[in-house]
Chain A
Amino acid sequence: MSARLARAALWITGALVAAWLVAPTLVVIPLGFTDKVSLTFPPTGWSTRWYANFFGDPAWTAALANSVLVGVLVAVVATTLGTAAAFGLSRWTNGRGAAAASVLLLAPMIVPGIILAIGIYAVFLKLGLAGTLAGFVAAHTVLALPFVVVSVTASLRTFDVRLETAAASLGAGRWATFRQVTLPLITPGVVSGALFAFVTSFDEVVVSLFIQSPTLVTLPVQMYSSVTRETDPTLAAAATMILVLTTVLVGGGLTLAARRNRAR
C-alpha cells in the first residue's frame, strides 16, 4: 500500500515538474491573439491585429528575414565544417591529438556566453565585422559547431567501418566511399546537426546584442530591445512564431536522432 502511495507521489511530482517545464511558455500563444493593448492574461477578446502589426512593421519583418538568412547560412557553414571535423576525428589515429581537437571543438559549449560575446565584440570592432552579415554568421557558426559535431559523432559511432573497407576493396576511392557509403548512412545525424545549428543561431541573444547594428538586427535582439522598452502584444505574436518554428525544427531533429538510436 505504501509502495503504491510512493509511486503515486512520484508520478504526481513528475507531472508537476513536466507541467512547469512546458506550460509557462505556452502563455505567449493566447497573448498573441488578444484584442487588448496590454499583455493581460487570460485575454478577454480575440483578434489577429498583432500579427498584422508584426508583418506591417518593417523593424519586425527585417529582423525576421535577417534571422532566417543568418540561420540558414550558419546551418550550411557549421554543418559542412562540423561534419568534416567529426568524420576526421573518428578516423584520426592520433588519440592524443584527437582528444585535444575535440576539446577545442566542444569548448564553446562550456565557456560562458558573455565572455565570448565581449571577446568577439572587441575583435569584430577592430576588423569592421560588427553589425555585418559575415560577422553574425561567423559568431553563430562557432556557437553552433559543437552541436553539429556531437550529433554527427553520435551517428558515426553506430556506423560500421567495415562498410568503408568493403567499398575500398571494390575499388572506390576515399571521396567516392564517403559520398556513396558513409554519408547516406550518417544523414540523420547530419540533418539533425543542421537543424540544431539553425536553431542555435535563430535563438542566439547575447553575442548578437553586442554585434548588432541599427541596420542589422536579428529577431531575438529585436524582442530583447522591445521587452525593455514597452509591453506590446506584438512581442507575444513574435514569440509564438519563434516557438512554433523552433518546436517543429527541433521535433524533426529529435525524431531523426531517435530513429538513429533505434537503428542501433
Chain B
Amino acid sequence: MAALLSPLSPSGPAAAAAPGEKGAGSRRGTRNWPFLLIVPALLVLLAVFAYPVAQTFVSAFTTPTPGTGNFAWFFGSPANVAVLTRTFSTALWATVICLCLAYPYAYLMTVASPRARAALLLIVMLPFWTSLMVRTFAWLVLLQDTGVVNGFLGLFGLGPVSLVRTQAGVLIGMVQILMPFMVLPLYSVMSGIDRRLLTAAESLGARPLVALLRVFVPLSLPGVAAGATMVFITSLGFYVTPALLGSPGEALISQFMYTQVSGMLMWGRGGAMAVVLFAATLLLIGLLGLAMRAGRRSRASAR
C-alpha cells in the first residue's frame, strides 16, 4: 500500500504551474479542483462504508443497553473464546502453509525466463479473480467423502478420510484461495534483490545453499512480513470458505457473527465481535508497519 500512496502526491506543482492560468484571484478559486474530483467517491465511502462500520462498532457499546455487556458476554463464555482462538489458530496455520508453498514459487518466478515468469504470474492472478463461490464449490466436490481426493486415496488402500466439515478441509480451501496474497508481495520484494550479492557470497566461498539462506532469505523478509500479514488478516475475516467447508460445531468468528446478527438479530454482540476482529486487524497492520520501519532503519545503518 505504501507503494501505492507514494506516487499520488507529487507532480501537482508542475500541473498547477501550467501556462494559460489566469490571475492569482481565479487561481485561488480553482486551486482545489483536484479535491473536488475526489469528493464524490469520498462521500459514497463515508455513507456506505465508514458510517456503517462505525455504527457497528458503536452498537457494540450501546445495543441493547449502554455499557460493555456485549464484551462481557463474549469473553465470559469459554465456548465463545474458543471460537476466537480457533479463528486465530486457523489463520496462523493458513499463513504458515501459504508461506511454505509460496516462497519457492515466488523464488522460481525471479529466476525463470520472462515468458515463464509471465505464465507463473498469470497462474497466480487468475485464481485471485476467480469467483470465491465457484472455487469453494469445487473444493466441496473434491473433498467430499465420495470425492476425487478420497477416490485417489482409495487407490492406495487409504481412507476414506473425512475432509469436508473438518478444519483440514477449511485449511485446504483457504490456503489455495489466499495464495496470491502471499505470492505477490514475496515476488515484488524478491525481484528487487540484487542477485549479484549471491554470486559475491559464493565467490567468497559460501556454498549456494548457505548463500541463499544467509543472504537472500534475510533480504526477502519484508516480503514475508507483508505477505504473512495480508494472509493472516484476510483469513481472520473469511466467511464463505469456512461456512461451506467447515463444521458448524467448529465455527470461526465470521460464521459466529453471521448467526448472531442474521439469525438472532443480536446487533450488539455482532458489533462486539466486529470490534475484537477489527482491533486484531489494526494491531497486526501496526506491527507490520513497525517491523518494516525497523527493518528499513537497520538496513540503512548497515549501509
Which residues in A have their C-beta under 8 angstroms from that of B105? 13-14, 17-18
Name the residue of chain B whose CB is nearest to the CB of A89.
Answer: B8
**Docked-complex contact B49 and A98, CB < 8 angstroms:** no
Taking a contact as CB atoms closer than 8 A, the residue among B49, B104, B240 that contacts A107 in the complex is: B49
**Docked-complex contact A27 and B44, CB < 8 angstroms:** no
Which residues in B have their C-beta under 8 angstroms from that of A10? 104, 107-108, 111
Which residues in B have their C-beta under 8 angstroms from that of A81? 40-41, 44
Interface residues on chain B, number (Cβ under 8 Å): 96
B239 to chain A, nearest CB (A): 5
**Docked-complex contact B131 and A203, CB < 8 angstroms:** yes
Distance A17 CA – B124 CA, assembled complex (angstroms): 10
A259 to chain B, nearest CB (A): 12
Q: Does B88 contact A (CB under 8 A)?
A: no
Which residues in A have their C-beta under 8 angstroms from that of B101? 17, 20
**Docked-complex contact B4 and A150, CB < 8 angstroms:** yes
Distance A106 CA – B233 CA, assembled complex (angstroms): 15
**Docked-complex contact A84 and B55, CB < 8 angstroms:** no
Which residues in B have their C-beta under 8 angstroms from that of A26? 138
**Docked-complex contact A84 and B278, CB < 8 angstroms:** no
Name the residue of chain A whose CB is nearest to the CB of B12.
Answer: A93
Distance A71 CA – B12 CA, assembled complex (angstroms): 34
Produce 1/0 per residue, A15-56, CB < 8 A to B.
001101110111110010000000111000000000000000
Q: Does A250 contact B (CB under 8 A)?
A: yes
Which residues in A have their C-beta under 8 angstroms from that of B56? 115, 118-119, 122
Which residues in B have their C-beta under 8 angstroms from that of A157? 7
Contact segment of B142-150, B154-162, B292-300: B142-150
Residues of chain A from 201 to 236 with CB closer than 8 A to chain B in the complex: 202-203, 205-206, 209-210, 220, 223-224, 227-228, 235-236
Known: A85-B41, A108-B49, A119-B55. 10 other contacts (CB 8 A): A17-B102, A20-B101, A20-B176, A22-B123, A90-B7, A92-B35, A114-B237, A161-B14, A227-B137, A254-B125
Taking a contact as CB atoms closer than 8 A, the residue among B34, B146, B151, B274 that contacts A92 in the complex is: B34
Q: Does A65 contact B (CB under 8 A)?
A: no
Taking a contact as CB atoms closer than 8 A, the residue among A6, A116, A199, A210 that contacts B129 in the complex is: A199
**Docked-complex contact A94 and B55, CB < 8 angstroms:** no
Which residues in A have their C-beta under 8 angstroms from that of B16? 93
Produce 1/0 per residue, B35-70, CB < 8 A to A.
111101110111111111111100100000000000
**Docked-complex contact B48 and A118, CB < 8 angstroms:** no
* A to B CB contacts below 8 Å, 11 in the list: A10-B111, A17-B102, A24-B135, A89-B38, A91-B37, A108-B45, A111-B281, A119-B54, A164-B18, A165-B18, A196-B129
Which residues in B have their C-beta under 8 angstroms from that of A250? 125-126, 129-130
Residues of chain B from 172 to 199 with CB closer than 8 A to chain A in the complex: 176, 179
Which residues in B have their C-beta under 8 angstroms from that of A61? none
Which residues in B have their C-beta under 8 angstroms from that of A107? 45, 49-50
If A3-B208, A162-B14 touch, does A247 touch B130 (CB 8 Å cutoff)? Answer: yes
Q: Does A138 contact B (CB under 8 A)?
A: yes
Which residues in B have their C-beta under 8 angstroms from that of A58? none
Distance A123 CA – B50 CA, assembled complex (angstroms): 11
- Which 6 residue pairs spanning A and B have beta carbons closest together? A112-B237, A119-B52, A88-B37, A93-B12, A85-B41, A92-B34
Distance A114 CA – B93 CA, assembled complex (angstroms): 21
Distance A121 CA – B134 CA, assembled complex (angstroms): 24
Distance A221 CA – B17 CA, assembled complex (angstroms): 51
Which residues in A have their C-beta under 8 angstroms from that of B176? 20-21, 24
Distance A93 CA – B254 CA, assembled complex (angstroms): 41
Distance A254 CA – B123 CA, assembled complex (angstroms): 12
Q: Does A239 contact B (CB under 8 A)?
A: yes
Which residues in B have their C-beta under 8 angstroms from that of A41? 141-142, 147-148, 151
